A = this chain, B = another copy of it.
Amino acid sequence: MAEHTVIMENTLRKLLAEKKYATLREILITMNPSDIAAIFDELEEDRLPLLYRLLPKELAADVFVEMDQEAQELLIRGFSDSELKEVLDELFVDDAVDIIEEMPATVVRRILSQADPEMRKSINEILRYPESSAGSIMTTEYISLRPQMTVAEAITRIRRTGIDKETIYTCYVTKDRTLIGVVTVKDLLLCNDDDKLIADVMIDKVISVNTHDDQEEVAQMFSKYNFMALPVVDGENRLVGIVTFDDAMDVMEEEATEDIEKMAAIIPSEKPYMSMSPFEIWKNRIPWLMLLMVSATFTGIIISHFESALAKLVILTAFIPMLMDTAGNSGSQASVTIIRGLSLNEIEFKDILQIIWKEARVAVLCGISLAVACFAKILLVDYLILGSFAEVTMASPFLIIGVICITLAITVLFAKIVGCSLPLFAKKLGFDPAVMASPFITTIVDALSLLVYFGIANIFLPL
């Protein structure tokens, strides 16, 4: 795929250098808009407008939608007013909104001044909705039918008005702008009585979303119900737009990326990595790095507090990283599982007791197996092969190894309990589980495991 694109890019460059425009056009019109856009994104600034102008009007608009923001901005700045108007006329409203949201204010003003009045009105309406709401991702170009139409009339209406609609396959039945039913083209085509009324064919238990619902919830409804489109209504159940499955897919992908970034202590960004500057990346990464660095002060204080004990038995220091890492890994296994479950609506706060009980049993299993393995490993590797305990005279090596392994088992238990409950409480308190829980787990679990380590060492070893 990627290699194929590179070959194509080279061919196009050559033809462009040789000014073989007719051939270029012949090639381009055989290609899919997404593939053309991928090639155009890589072109130099002076070649892009030249090649873009070779595309037939409709294809040009499809390609435009798929291009990078930088390339789009470049083209718009180069467009004459009539060229800009031509592209805008071919765009769906929701695509136009997506483009506008990324552009600087001067470009936005130019776009709005060239859009036809109806589109301008729709764009402004959609722009009013809060970011990440159902209203902000919807389109206003849907097919609406009246309940008293016949099936034949409905099909005629679809054939007449369908050309500009985002989807013709799901049609919405309204009465005084209120959404009262939904009917699919499949229902209409497979209905063997053309005189039947839409009111009798339509499904009246319509599942809809509100303009202010979060886009993540909307995407979840798509994956739950397998809809092709979902109607968006206002507070009075009046139909204002639809969201289609392709937008829901983009949201799903975006939201998964955001969750992953948050879990890795990164502030999510909508821009793709490759088009971000080092400074922008730094801005998204440094806040959490700073905060976590400062919060690691606690572990430092704990170690300082036990400095004299560590000075007496330095070998204890060698196992601090292993204990902290294993506890950290155990905790993040639990927290990540719960965070993802919450995102997919598979887990709710009311399951908390069941989850803690489950994690406790998992932790006992993990703790015991890790402790046994750890005992064998330290005995074999550190004691026998590396001779790490050779200079230890203060206490029996076996007692020290025992302390390490008991600490391991207990910290795994703590880590799993903290790891599974923190995201649930974060969610309950209205915070984002991925942000609140994941980055802090390590700090909390680090401190806990040190406290357990030194506590147990103090009991069993002569410190």
- State the A residues within 8 Å of B (CB): 1-2, 30-32, 34, 155, 158-159, 162-163, 168-169, 185-186, 189-190, 205, 207, 222-226, 228, 245-246, 248-250, 252-253, 256-257, 259-261, 263-266, 272-274, 278-279, 281-282, 285-286, 288-290, 292-294, 296-297, 299-301, 303-304, 307, 310-311, 314-315, 317-322, 324-326, 328-330, 332-333, 336-338, 340-341, 344-348, 351, 354, 358, 361-362, 365-366, 369-370, 373-374, 377, 381-382, 386, 388, 408, 412, 439, 442-443, 446, 450
- The residue in chain B whose Cβ has the minimal distance to the Cβ of A219 is B249
Neighbouring B residues of A257 by C-beta, 8 Å: 340, 344
Q: Is the CB of A224 within 8 A of B289?
A: no
**How far does the alpha carbon of A185 sit from the alpha carbon of B189 in the complex, in Å?**
10
Given the contacts A226-B246, A329-B289, A333-B264, A30 and B304 also touching, CB distance less than 8 Å: no
Which B residues lie within 8 Å of A225 (CB)?
Answer: 32, 34
Residues on B with C-beta less than 8 A from A330 are 285, 289
Contact of A272 among B272, B274, B320, B346 (CB under 8 A): B346
A318:B300 contact, CB within 8 angstroms: yes
Q: How far is the CB of A365 from chain B (nearest CB, A)?
A: 4
Residues of B within 8 A of A319 (CB): 300
Could you say which residues of chain B place their CB within 8 Å of the CB of A279?
A: 365
From B222, B256, B318, B320, give the contact of A307 (CB < 8 A).
B318
Q: Which residues of B contact A361 (CB under 8 A)?
A: 278
State whether A260 touches B336 (Cβ < 8 A). Answer: yes
Residues of B within 8 A of A369 (CB): 282, 286, 290
**C-alpha spacing A319/B274, complex, angstroms:** 35
Can you list 5 pairs linking A and B with CB atoms under 8 Å apart? A274-B351, A285-B330, A289-B330, A293-B326, A320-B321
Distance of A294 from chain B, by nearest CB (Å)? 6
Q: Are B228 and A336 in contact (CB under 8 A)?
A: no
Say how far A332's CB is from chain B's closest CB, in angstroms.
5
Pick from B299, B333, B344, B450: contact of A285, CB below 8 A: B333
Are B205 and A228 neighbours in the complex by a CB distance under 8 Å? Answer: no
Copy number of this protein in the oligomer? 2
Nearest-neighbor residue (CB-CB) of A322 within chain B:
B296
Q: In angstroms, how far is the closest chain B Cβ from the Cβ of A374? A: 6
Q: A322 to B340, Cβ gap below 8 A? A: no
Asked if A304 contacts B300 (CB within 8 A), the reply is no
- CB atoms of B264 and A336 under 8 A apart: yes
- Whether A205 touches B31, Cβ cut-off 8 Å, given contacts A285-B366, A370-B290, is yes
Partner of A189, one of B30, B158, B333, B345: B158
**A205-B30, A347-B274 known; A307+B314 contact, CB < 8 A:** yes
Chain B residues within an 8 Å CB radius of A366: 282, 285-286, 289
Question: What 7 pairs between A and B have smallest CB-CB spacing?
Answer: A256-B256, A278-B361, A296-B322, A264-B336, A226-B246, A299-B321, A282-B365
- Using CB atoms, name the residue of chain B closest to A169: B169
